[in-house]
Structure 1
Amino acid sequence: MRKVIKLVFVVAGLLGAAPIAAQELGTTASTVVTIDREKLFLNSDFGKRVAREVEAAGNELAAENRRIEADLADAEQELTDLRATMSVTDFRPLADAFDTRVQTTRQAQAAKTRALNALLGQERDVFLNAAAPVIETLMKEIGVSVVLDRRTVFSSAASSDITEDAIQRLNDDLGEGTNIKLPPALQASPPQD
């Protein structure tokens, strides 16, 4: 009987089916597979939705920045025109007020950009938290005990990458993730106009 089991493992190993053979024999599998976490997020329906939303918000912010730039350029031109007709003493407060306006505007717009980047990071965290149980189920089904991030692996066979299978499973289970809410610790206020 031991020779038969050993032969099953040898043949299964040669055919690349060790995880399934190990499950069928009731033993614990120790096969290691990889996942490309970046591809997992970006190619999932959830990640595609987040990318669309962040891109739309980024486009709105860019349009707002262009409007602000145009307004500031107009205000600067007005100051330049006034400079020729005013004394330095009278002009200085206007120039200082304009500089303050520019600095405040830059800080506000930079804060909106940071908030948008933070939102992307938060959505990625929500995705990974929601993906964990789905990946664990997939691991059990294929009989593996370890999943490594592909970026941390020096070398592996292409057949060890389960990213595409995981993406399909996540799309089936999570969809676009619109029903998944941010945990309170990850919630941040959206960028303001």
Structure 2
Amino acid sequence: MGSALRLIIVTLALFGASVSFAQDLRSPILTIDSDRFYRASDFGKRVLREIAAQTDALAEDNRLIEETLEAEELALTEQRADLPPEDFRALADAFDARVQSIREQREAENRAIANQLEENRDRFLNAAAPVLEAIMREAGAAVVLERRSVFISANAIDITDTAVERMNETLGDGVQTPD
């Protein structure tokens, strides 16, 4: 890239960084950091806190189950010398089946948490569409691009902070209050 083009890009970026959305940004292209948009919103913060609490509880439960299974396995191993092989095999098979069942249950609980996270993100993005469309109209934009997909841009076309503020006003943390 030529030095003149670099100078123009740097100048535009510096100028753009000083322009705020409140100063009636007019641009046909806007950018957004969708991950930050979600994580910085009140809704995203609440969901991520809830998911973290569920994940922590599941991890603690897994640790307790693991301790119990280790103790059972040790007791089973100690019985091996005193039991006929077919009796020991029956106990070992039952233990293995129980462990497999617990593993499947834990995997299902992990999938349920992941699904909950995805469903909440989808709910957020569906609620965000009218907010982002309004920002686009105000800016005279035709498109909002994912910031990570853009090689270089002026910071002035990034609407992430504005979008977070408006989503917080519109959706809040997403918890419905009884009427």
TM-score bracket, shorter-length normalisation: 0.7 to 0.9
Once the two structures are TM-superposed, the CA of residue 30 in structure 1 deviates from its matched residue by 6.0
Once the two structures are TM-superposed, the CA of residue 179 in structure 1 deviates from its matched residue by 2.7
Structure 1 partner of 2:63: 66
Deviates more, 1:139-148 or 1:31-40: 139-148
Identity %: 48
Deviates more, 1:129-138 or 1:142-151: 142-151
Aligned residue type for 1:167:
V
Is the partner of 1:84 in helix, strand or coil? Answer: helix
Aligned residue type for 2:112:
A
Alignment of 1:110-189 (within 5 A): 110-179=107-176
Return structure 1 stretches of 4+ with deviation > 3 angstroms: none
Structure 1 partner of 2:87: 90
Aligned residue type for 2:33:
D
Gaps (5+ residues) in structure 2? 1-14
Structure 2 partner of 1:35: 32
Is the partner of 1:144 in helix, strand or coil? Answer: coil
| Distance in 2, Cα, partners of 1:34 & 1:123 | 22
Aligned residue type for 1:94:
L
Q: Deviations over 1:39-60 (max 9, x none)?
A: 0000100000000010111111
Once the two structures are TM-superposed, the CA of residue 142 in structure 1 deviates from its matched residue by 2.6
| Distance in 2, Cα, partners of 1:86 & 1:98 | 15
Structure 2-normalised TM-score? 0.82
Q: Deviations over 1:91-142 (max 9, x none)?
A: 1100011111111111110111111011101100000000110111122223
Number of residue pairs aligned between Structure 1 and Structure 2: 160
| Distance in 2, Cα, partners of 1:42 & 1:69 | 33
Aligned residue type for 1:133:
P
Gaps (5+ residues) in structure 1? 1-14, 24-28, 181-193
| C-alpha contact (below 8 Å) 1:45/1:175 kept by paired residues | yes
Higher relative contact order (CA 8 A, sep 6+): 2
Once the two structures are TM-superposed, the CA of residue 177 in structure 1 deviates from its matched residue by 1.1
| Distance in 2, Cα, partners of 1:163 & 1:119 | 24
Structure 1-normalised TM-score? 0.76
Structure 2 partner of 1:183: none
